[in-house]
């Protein structure tokens, strides 16, 4: 193991210290093993593993996460001797042929990869390699491994963050989004689940991930002025009012007199405002708690429980204590219905009204942070603060030197 690096230890692994002390790793809930996901990859000669990329990467059956795209597995770069993450995406063309390049999913994946290959920033999850299987039925995207889990899991464990940790996290999110927007890229699906902790807390480096809905806008001024149509995308809890209004009426395209990149990037700013609000309070700003809290007494209420999510990373020891008991943030996207409408309908309505509850007593102690969040949650996209503008506000500038020094140390760590 190299110094200044982080590794993910698995259930059953042994760790021997220089003084010959040996520890055996035991998870209360081990990471799931999904050897079936490795079918179609080249054999690695070991049970539960497969080699890809001409043998450079050994993919383990240990699953780090999954979704509609496929699954993410732990892997090892045999040349550089480091752990990486491998996103395995099964592909199938409409005519069921083996030509994966005719698959719509292939085009979407390669669009995401093409965007990421043009980017290089400490706060952007890096694409290291792309490998296609010999049977041309799957594509494997090799990514940098984040051993600290995602921000959503961190918020669930911590409920809410103190001011300094929240500022340190937001500083890095702003750095990453400012860089993306300068490159003409809008993420369009920012949420805590898509922000990774490169190492376990305290004060890790963050990386923005999952660019499946991202869009790159041409830097040519005339091209930007003509591009006024945007597809309505995003996760309901973090969409901006202008998108919520279109979702409400079932319209798939946003036709705007404003440049398309301005609207898309303003949506990223709105999402950061929602994430920041959640960091401070433990609540999502537009979640209909008052309706959902009374659902057990509503005869018309029904809830579809989402499938259990795989355990990501075991909770790390924390040095920051917070004894305030706040409710856990809800799982985004859970299908819930009350007498006043479905959960998503209530969320969209609250977003369109654009009146986040700022009465929580926490805001009295961080008035400048409150001002910044209100500016990020401005209903008018043209007036909404950008990441660059937020970095220039007084609250973000305070303690910047110390935080930048801490941030630079995380960049110096070996991946």
92 marked as binding residue: yes
- Give pTM, 2 decimals: 0.81
Pair 386, 265: CB distance under 8 Å: yes
Q: State the CATH number of the domain containing residue 176.
A: 1.10.510.10
Percentage of residues in the chain with pLDDT exceeding 70? 74
Domain boundary among 126, 144, 162: 144
**pLDDT value at 101 more than 50:** yes
Residues 263 and 395 in one domain: yes
How far apart CA 30 and CA 17 sit, in angstroms, is 23
Residues 102 and 168 in one domain: no
pLDDT at 317: 32
Any domain includes 211: yes
Residues 62 and 157 in one domain: no
pLDDT in tens, 47-94: 688 999 989 999 999 998 876 678 899 999 999 999 999 999 888 655
Domain boundary among 109, 144, 179: 144
Domain boundary among 99, 123, 144: 144
- Tokens linked to 115: 């965007």
**pLDDT value at 209 more than 90:** yes
Mean pLDDT over residues 28-32, rounded? 77
Q: Which residues are catalytic?
A: 189
The range of the structural domain enclosing residue 190 comes to 152-285+356-412
pLDDT at 273: 98
pLDDT in tens, 242-251: 888 877 776 5
pLDDT band at 221 (very low <50, low <70, confident <90, very high): low
- In the block, residue with structure tokens 């991946």: 415
């Amino acid at each position: 193991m190299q110094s200044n690096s982080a590794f993910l230890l698995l259930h059953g692994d042994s760790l021997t210290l220089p003084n010959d002390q040996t520890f055996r790793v035991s998870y209360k809930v081990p990471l799931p093993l999904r050897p079936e996901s490795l079918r179609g990859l080249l054999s690695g000669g070991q049970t539960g593993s497969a080699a890809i990329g001409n043998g450079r990467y050994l993919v383990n059956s240990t699953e780090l996460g999954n979704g509609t795209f496929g699954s993410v597995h732990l892997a090892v770069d045999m040349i550089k001797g480091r752990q990486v993450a491998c996103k395995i995406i099964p592909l199938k063309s409409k005519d069921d042929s083996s030509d994966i390049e005719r698959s719509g999913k292939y085009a979407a994946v390669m669009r995401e990869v093409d965007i990421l290959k043009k980017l290089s920033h400490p706060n952007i999850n890096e694409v290291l390699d792309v490998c296609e299987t010999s049977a041309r039925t799957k594509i494997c995207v090799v990514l940098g491994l984040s051993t600290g889990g995602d921000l959503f899991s961190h918020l669930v464990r911590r409920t809410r963050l103190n001011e300094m940790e929240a500022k340190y996290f937001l500083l890095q999110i702003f750095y990453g989004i400012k860089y993306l927007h300068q490159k003409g890229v809008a993420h369009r699906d920012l949420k805590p689940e898509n922000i990774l902790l490169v190492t376990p807390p305290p004060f890790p480096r963050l990386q923005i991930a999952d660019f499946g809905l991202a869009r790159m806008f041409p830097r040519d001024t005339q091209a930007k002025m003509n591009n006024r149509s945007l597809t309505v995308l995003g996760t309901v809890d973090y969409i901006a009012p202008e998108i919520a209004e279109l979702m409400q009426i079932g319209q798939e395209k946003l036709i705007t007199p404003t440049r398309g990149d301005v609207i898309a990037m303003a949506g990223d700013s709105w999402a950061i405002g929602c994430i920041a609000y959640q960091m401070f309070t433990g609540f999502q700003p537009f979640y209909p708690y008052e309706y959902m809290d009374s659902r057990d007494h509503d005869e018309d209420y029904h809830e579809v429980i989402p499938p259990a999510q795989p355990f990501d990373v075991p909770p790390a020891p924390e040095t920051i204590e917070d004894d305030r008991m706040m409710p856990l943030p809800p799982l985004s996207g859970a299908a819930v219905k009350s007498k006043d409408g479905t959960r998503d309908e209530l969320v969209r309505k609250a977003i369109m009204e654009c009146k986040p509850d700022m009465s929580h007593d926490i805001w009295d102690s961080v008035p400048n942070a409150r001002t910044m969040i209100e500016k990020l949650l401005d209903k008018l996209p043209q007036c909404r603060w950008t990441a660059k503008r937020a970095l220039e506000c007084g609250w973000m500038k305070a303690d910047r030197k110390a935080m930048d020094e801490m941030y630079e140390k995380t960049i110096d760590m070996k991946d």
